[in-house]
Amino acid sequence: MEETINNHDAKLQKLDKVLEQYAGKPGALIPVLHEAQNIYGYLPEEVQYHISKGLGLPLADVYGVVTFYGLFTMTPRAEHNIAVCMGTACYVKGAGQLAEKIDAELGLKFGEISEDRKFGLEATRCIGACGMAPVITINEEVHGRLNADQMGELLDKYENIH
């Protein structure tokens, strides 16, 4: 079910406060997009349009930034987003086995979200923590030096977070 900006007055009010805070400031677009994604969980077209109007920017500029940076998403995400680093150091040290464990535990392949939207899985490239390889992030929290058994324990921890 697609949510529209009009159905979320509280979220819209939060976004308007963010837009007021950054109005007229150079370089405001990325921080505003980040805040908007924190509010909505993703950046649907309606939110991008509202931001373009609020900052006085062409919608094409907003869309261009959203689609360029991997940090931003236009599709709803899961409650717990798992990103497995598949960069060289992580891959060599067992990132593939971590992904297999996630698949075995949650039934997820890269690019998928669980039916209950509790977990999502994606592959990512180097996150700059090669000394802790293999590394995953869950909701931007970095977890390193993992093996498959530890991965199972970590998933159990997040499974019980509401």
43-93 confidence digits (pLDDT tens): 999 999 999 999 999 999 999 999 998 778 898 888 899 999 999 999 999
CA neighbor of 33 nearest in space, from 57, 7, 51: 51
Residue 52 lies in a domain: yes
Q: Is residue 125 part of a domain?
A: yes
Q: What is the mean pLDDT of residues 130-137?
A: 96
> What integer pLDDT is reported at residue 8 of this predicted model?
62
More confident residue, 25 or 161: 25
Q: How confident is the model at residue 126 (pLDDT cuts 50, 70, 90)?
A: confident
Give the confidence band of 12 by pLDDT, cuts at 50, 70, 90: very high
Domain range for residue 63? 5-68
| Confidence (pLDDT) at 60 | 97
- Are 147 and 123 in a shared domain? yes
Check whether residue 90 and residue 42 sit in a common domain.
Answer: no
Residues 85-110: tens digit of each pLDDT: 999 999 999 999 999 999 999 999 99
Is 39 among the domain residues? yes
Both 58 and 109 in one domain: the answer is: no
pLDDT at 112 over 50: yes
pLDDT, residue 3, reads: 46
Residue 14 CB partners (closer than 8 Å, separation 6+): 39
Q: Among 21, 42, 68, identify where a domain stops.
A: 68
Dist. CA 94–CA 110, nearest whole Å: 16
Contact 102, 134 (CB under 8 A): no
Q: Does a structural domain hold residue 73?
A: no
Considering its fold, how many domains does the chain have in total? 2
Residue 75 lies in a domain: no
- Is there a contact between 138 and 80 (Cβ–Cβ < 8 Å)? yes
pLDDT at position 69: 85
Cα–Cα distance measured from residue 124 to residue 121, given in angstroms and rounded to the nearest whole number? 10
- In this predicted structure, what is the pLDDT of residue 2? 42
User: Do 50 and 96 fall into the same domain?
Assistant: no
Taking phi first (over 0 means left), then psi (-120 to 50 degrees means alpha), and beta for anything else, what does residue 99 get?
A: alpha
Residue 74 lies in a domain: no
